[in-house]
């Protein structure tokens, strides 16, 4: 007897939701069905509804402006939350209380209070929350995890992690809602949660103490004027502005069919401007950040994120008591889409070097996989949607506690930047104090 298909509904129909809706109605249609799309924007939810019907030949998926009506009428087994980050906790809690499990885009939420509300709802309802950390699933990161797990460099003592966002991908956060901390928590929540989670997972560690510094030094009007780029500050947005024609930071919504349909056509309805000038007044998130973390098992992390670099990618150096791993990736303009705007870019360039104490360096080859996030997206989608998904030997699926272990580094870093003091994560939200390993958290 075949297993009943799992009923999925999605709330939030921006660009990210396609990572979930497409595999439901396509690859995993025998195991899953999409029973609802919810968004306050009729334009956006109708765009996705029509696109899915056209591409996959399915009847129109029911769409809703009212989340509670969707939950009552469709009774989904699982709700996929893809709203702006500041609303994640609201829809996670409401879904759990309505009797559904949740798949949440990262970060699970943006501060300690909202995180605690999710913890309380999970405990109260007994339902589950999965956080989607795509980067764990890439071939390169998985190989690093294998090497550490095998004890190749001994006990990990220190990680140095530097992430570079370029003036295509990095700048895009400053055009959108992400540029306001009340909505995104800043990039130490929205973006760095990927990186913090990867490090937590690599070393199987639970963060304990956080100290951070950060500032807005490149984007925003004041910074542009100070370095002589005042001409780039004379308009609030880019689309339809003749004066912005030669601006290297320009994004024209009317020149891209998807952007036009999802955002430009929805402006009168929502008031949301997707192509705001990155050098306008009002940007209040940091664009350069440095963080230090101590883990419960004693390992330390030094981390940096800069959003105005000439290239995109990251490097990580992991030092153990028997050697060192050096891992780096060079990305296209946008890791999610694989957009190859960088001249001469032919795909993710991965370099992995292992050097044991008293030995020479050894370069390890890594096979680059197809798909978003370095091939991680298809593997994650299989784990979420396939009834036949095999047990993952690397523990790459993350529940609400592991999701919290990542976001709470960002939340603690925000508090540290505000106070100038180190912050103990358990003073924000208590992560099981009796364990030291990330794998012991749900």
Angle at 271 between CA 267 and CA 272, to 5 degrees: 80
423 has which bridge partners? 210
- Output the pTM of the full model: 0.96
Which residues touch 385 (CB under 8 Å, ≥6 apart)? 6, 23, 24, 27, 28, 31, 32
> What one-character DSSP code corresponds to residue 241?
-
pLDDT at 344: 47
Q: What number does CATH give the domain 135-219+284-440?
A: 3.30.360.10
Please choose, from the candidates 50, 13, 5, the residue with its C-alpha nearest in 3D space to the C-alpha of residue 31: 5
Segments making up each domain of the chain, as ranges: 6-134, 135-219+284-440, 221-270
288 has which bridge partners? 215, 306
Q: Please state whether beta strands 6-11 and 32-38 pair in parallel, antiparallel, or not at all (unpaired).
A: parallel
38 has which bridge partners? 11, 64
What is the spatial distance between Cα 111 and Cα 254, in angstroms, rounded to a whole number?
35
- Helices and strands, number each (H, E), in the chain: 15, 15
Could you list the beta-strand ranges (E) of 231-311.
288-295, 300-309
What is the spatial distance between Cα 15 and Cα 28, in angstroms, rounded to a whole number?
20
Residues 375-408 as b or e (16 or more Cβ within 10 Å = b):
bbbbbbbbbbbeeeeeeeeeebbbebbbbbbbbb
Given a contact cutoff of 8 angstroms between Cβ atoms, the answer to whether 394 and 438 are in contact is no
Name the CATH topology of 6-134: Rossmann fold (3.40.50)
Ranges of residues in the chain whose predicted pLDDT is under 50: 334-345
Given a contact cutoff of 8 angstroms between Cβ atoms, the answer to whether 378 and 389 are in contact is no
pLDDT at 340: 41
The three-class DSSP label of residue 60 is: coil
Given a contact cutoff of 8 angstroms between Cβ atoms, the answer to whether 374 and 348 are in contact is yes
Helix boundaries (H) for 239-317: 257-262, 267-270
Helix boundaries (H) for 239-371: 257-262, 267-270
Which residues touch 51 (CB under 8 Å, ≥6 apart)? none
- Token reading at 380: 């994650």
Please choose, from the candidates 307, 280, 166, the residue with its C-alpha nearest in 3D space to the C-alpha of residue 225: 280
pLDDT at 375: 85
- C-alpha distances (whole Å) from 141 to each of 212, 266, 351, 396 are 25, 38, 11, 11
What residue has token string 């968004």? 39
Q: Does the N-terminal peptide bond of residue 107 adopt cis geometry, omega within 30 degrees of 0?
A: yes
What residue has token string 């992991």? 318
> What one-character DSSP code corresponds to residue 237?
B
- C-alpha distances (whole Å) from 271 to each of 37, 123, 266 are 20, 37, 8
What is the spatial distance between Cα 230 and Cα 222, in angstroms, rounded to a whole number?
9
Dihedrals phi, psi of 441, to nearest 5 degrees: -95, 155
- Token reading at 105: 């885009």
Residue 241, Cα to own-chain centre: how many angstroms? 31
Q: Please state whether beta strands 101-105 and 78-81 pair in parallel, antiparallel, or not at all (unpaired).
A: parallel
Question: Any idea how long the chain is?
Answer: 442
């Amino acid at each position: 007897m075949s297993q009943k298909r799992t009923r999925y509904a999605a709330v939030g129909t921006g660009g990210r939701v396609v990572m979930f809706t497409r595999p439901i109605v396509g690859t995993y249609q025998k195991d899953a069905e999409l029973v609802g799309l919810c968004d306050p924007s009729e334009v956006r939810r109708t765009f996705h509804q029509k696109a899915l019907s056209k591409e996959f030949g399915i009847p129109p998926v029911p769409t809703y402006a009212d989340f509670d009506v969707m939950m009552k009428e469709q009774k989904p087994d699982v709700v996929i939350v893809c709203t702006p980050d500041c609303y994640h906790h609201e829809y996670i809690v409401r879904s759990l209380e309505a009797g559904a499990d949740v798949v949440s885009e990262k970060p699970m939420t943006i501060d300690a209070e909202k995180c605690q509300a999710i913890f309380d709802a999970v405990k109260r309802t007994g339902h589950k929350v999965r956080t989607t950390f795509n980067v764990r699933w890439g071939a390169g990161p998985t190989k690093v995890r294998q090497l550490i797990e095998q004890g190749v460099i001994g006990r990990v003592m220190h990680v140095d992690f530097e992430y570079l966002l370029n003036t295509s991908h990095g700048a895009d956060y400053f055009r959108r809602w992400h540029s306001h901390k009340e909505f995104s928590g800043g990039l130490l929540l929205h973006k760095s949660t990927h990186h913090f989670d990867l490090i937590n997972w690599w070393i199987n560690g639970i963060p304990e103490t956080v100290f951070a510094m950060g500032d807005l030094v490149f984007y925003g009007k004041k910074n542009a004027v100070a370095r002589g780029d005042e001409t780039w500050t004379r308009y609030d947005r880019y689309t339809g502005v003749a004066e912005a024609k030669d601006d290297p930071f320009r994004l024209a919504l009317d020149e891209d069919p998807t952007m036009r349909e999802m955002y430009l056509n929805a402006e009168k309805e929502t008031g949301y401007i997707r192509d705001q000038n990155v050098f306008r007044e009002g940007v209040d998130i940091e664009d350069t950040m440095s963080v230090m973390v101590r883990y419960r098992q004693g390992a330390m992390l030094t981390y940096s994120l800069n959003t105005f670099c000439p290239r995109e990618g990251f490097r990580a150096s992991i030092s153990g008591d028997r050697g060192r791993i050096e891992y780096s990736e060079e990305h296209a303009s946008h890791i999610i889409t694989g957009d190859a705007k960088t001249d001469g870019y032919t795909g993710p360039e991965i370099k992995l070097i292992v050097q044991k104490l008293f030995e020479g360096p050894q370069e390890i080859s890594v096979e680059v996989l197809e798909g978003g996030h370095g091939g991680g997206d298809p593997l994650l989608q299989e784990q979420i949607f396939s009834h036949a998904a095999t047990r993952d030997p690397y523990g790459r699926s993350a529940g609400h506690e592991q999701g919290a272990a990542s976001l709470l580094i960002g939340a603690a870093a925000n508090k540290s930047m505000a106070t100038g003091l180190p912050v103990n994560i358990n003073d924000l939200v208590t992560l099981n104090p009796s364990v030291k390993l990330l794998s012991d958290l749900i």
